[in-house]
Amino acid sequence: MSSNGISVDEAKTLICELCRLFYDQGWVSGTGGGISVKAGDEIVMAPSGVQKERMQPDDMFVLDSKGDIIHTPAAKPPPNRPPKLSECSSLFMAAYELRGAGAVIHSHSMNAVLATMLDPAASEFVITHVEMIKGIEGHGFYGKCVVPVIENTARECELTDRLRQAIADYPQANAVLVRRHGVYVWGKDWIQAKTQAECYDYLFEAAVRMHGMGLDYRRPPPPNFADAAAAAANGSNGHASEPAAKKAKTRHAALPAAVVLDIEGTVAPISYVADVMFPYAQQHCRSFLESTYDAAETQADIDLIRTQAAADVAEGRAGAAAVPEPGAGQAAVVEAVAGWVQAAIAADRKVTALKNLQGHIWRSGFSSGALQAELFRDVPDALVEWRSAGVKTYIYSSGSREAQRLFFGYSKVGDLRPYLCGFFDTTSGAKTEAGSYSNIALSLGVDSPSDILFATDVLAEAQAAAAAGWRAVLVERPGNKALPAGHGFRVISSMQELLQ
């Protein structure tokens, strides 16, 4: 038995079973397609040119972890073809090497082929808001499922470089489409590879059918109240909306014109920000500064921190030290900036100089898939419901606007930015000052500050919002600090309660 729980003999039998199953689904007809499964340090691979539904365990090739053949099946009498290693072997090895795959499936599914033809010029397939997206590791219903599309070649083995590049360019994808050919799908073991292959095929078919119905599978559905003209203008899906009179009845008189949400302790666990995001920024600060030092954006971040550090020294802040000028050299500047960042994070400072650099470090983490934002389970559905009710939702957090966009763009349930209308940070003012909320109200364009409903877990923020004329509620969540008695604000424990 191998270390991953499956032996070579079991892998041979399993591949035969899967090939028969996939043949019945139309994925591997005409000897096309292929499967390989890792068994410890060895890789079992279906041969080329064999009727997939009739394959037997003794037809399998066995390769070592480098892709070299260590077992060739014995030849069978005519009309059987001589044993031949799959043309897919080098492509399978790319997934094993670059993604640590435990199994790889290649199919000629008609759904996959048609999906690559929906937009002949597209270099990627994109679909969102379809249930089976959740079956793809790292994806959620509200997110965009993106699969790179590479162009076909005369021989399958000639695709290797293109597939390797696509795998590198799309770290969150678990598949690569080949135009007018098929798809390669992998997983950490054969179960995940099979599951994801089936989910991807479902999504490809859904896209083809939606396209035939005139629906845009690449965009979220419009809110229920949107009329057909607005939906068409935005390139969204949808049908004609309800008559205006009927729509008016669906809007409760007490609904706010806008909802503004805090992040930490309100829509996301404090522990995620404190235990995941902040440590990530701390751990990667120095390497990020070193690798991007000459970039204009990084230099702007350093200038902000240099200015803030000078102000800290002038104020007599304990432990404050100046950041050297550029002439001191990269090493000296990076050392000083990294030290300032470590101290600022430890002190939980809410200053723009820190937030900007953190946001850029987090951008790197989110885009690579190293970070995925964690939200409370009630939040995504609430955002959808509020948009359908005609309520605009905004975010006001001490984190930079870019960090906020990343947080909601790369959540564990997918991209929630289509349900948000804007982001505000400390450039609008401190969250404990009433003037900040007055400034934001002007940007929102409401008739009255009381048309805005603010949700936060911090009493001082709720008091500042109320002083600016906003309606405010406090949020109790697991891990939050206990709220003091007698504060006078309504308290909720779920976003589903906010508009009640």
**Does residue 263 carry a pLDDT above 70?**
yes
Task: Please give the single-letter amino acid code of residue 174.
Answer: N
Q: How far is CA 254 from CA 225, 245, 418, 453, in A?
A: 17, 18, 24, 11
Average pLDDT over residues 154-169: 91
Q: Is 262 annotated as a binding residue?
A: yes
Q: Which residues contact 66 (CB under 8 A, 6 or more apart)?
A: none
Q: Quick one: pLDDT at residue 462?
A: 98
Among 17, 131, 158, 290, the active-site one is: 131
Q: Is the Cβ–Cβ distance between 393 and 405 less than 8 Å?
A: no
Q: Is 19 annotated as a binding residue?
A: no
**Which percentage of the chain shows pLDDT scores above 90?**
79
Q: Which residues contact 388 (CB under 8 A, 6 or more apart)?
A: 223, 224, 225
* Helix 330-346, helix 278-292: angle, nearest 10: 170
pLDDT-based confidence at residue 225 (cuts at 50, 70, 90): low
- pLDDT tens sequence across 205-215: 999 999 999 99
- pLDDT tens sequence across 131-159: 999 999 988 888 789 999 999 998 887 89
Q: Is 431 annotated as a binding residue?
A: yes
C-alpha angle 303-308-311 in degrees, rounded to nearest 5:
130
Rg, C-alpha atoms of the chain: 27
- Joined together, the tokens standing for residue 13 give 């039998």
Q: Quick one: pLDDT at residue 242?
A: 37
In the chain, where the domains are located: 8-212, 258-268+373-497, 270-368
Q: Is 264 annotated as a binding residue?
A: yes
pLDDT-based confidence at residue 352 (cuts at 50, 70, 90): confident
Higher pLDDT, 237 or 375: 375
- pLDDT tens sequence across 47-81: 998 999 999 999 999 999 999 999 999 999 999 88
0.85 exceeded by the pTM?
no
* Ordered alpha helix ranges (H), 213-243: 228-233
CATH code of the domain made up of 258-268+373-497:
3.40.50.1000
- Joined together, the tokens standing for residue 416 give 């929630």
Return the closest-CA partner of residue 255 out of 468, 471, 88, 61.
471
DSSP 8-state code for residue 28: S
**Does residue 380 carry a pLDDT above 60?**
yes
**Does residue 189 carry a pLDDT above 50?**
yes
Q: Is 457 annotated as a binding residue?
A: yes
Query: Which CATH fold would you assign to the domain 8-212?
Result: L-fuculose-1-phosphate Aldolase (3.40.225)
Higher pLDDT, 245 or 158: 158
Q: Quick one: pLDDT at residue 299?
A: 96
Q: Quick one: pLDDT at residue 204?
A: 98
Helix (H) or strand (E) holding 146: strand 144-150
- Joined together, the tokens standing for residue 126 give 């994109």
Q: Is the dihedral of CA 335, 338, 341, 345 positive or negative?
A: negative
- Joined together, the tokens standing for residue 217 give 């599978």
Q: Quick one: pLDDT at residue 234?
A: 45
- pLDDT tens sequence across 382-395: 999 999 899 999 99
Q: Is 119 annotated as a binding residue?
A: no
**Does residue 339 carry a pLDDT above 70?**
yes
Q: Quick one: pLDDT at residue 157?
A: 79
Q: Which residues contact 78 (CB under 8 A, 6 or more apart)?
A: none
Q: Quick one: pLDDT at residue 206?
A: 98
Is residue 15 packed enough to be buried (19+ CB in 10 Å), middle (13-18) or exposed (0-12)? buried
DSSP bridge partners of 259: 393, 453
Average pLDDT over residues 440-463: 96
Matching fold, domains 8-212 and 258-268+373-497: no
C-alpha angle 106-111-114 in degrees, rounded to nearest 5:
110
**Does residue 238 carry a pLDDT above 70?**
no
Mean pLDDT over the full length of the chain: 91
Query: Which CATH fold would you assign to the domain 270-368?
Result: 1.10.720
Q: Is the Cβ–Cβ distance between 440 and 458 less than 8 Å?
A: no
DSSP 8-state code for residue 276: I
Q: Is 301 annotated as a binding residue?
A: no
Taking the C-alpha atoms of residue 33 and residue 228, their distance in angstroms, rounded to an integer, is 43
Residue 205 designated active-site: no
pLDDT-based confidence at residue 274 (cuts at 50, 70, 90): confident
Q: Quick one: pLDDT at residue 452?
A: 98
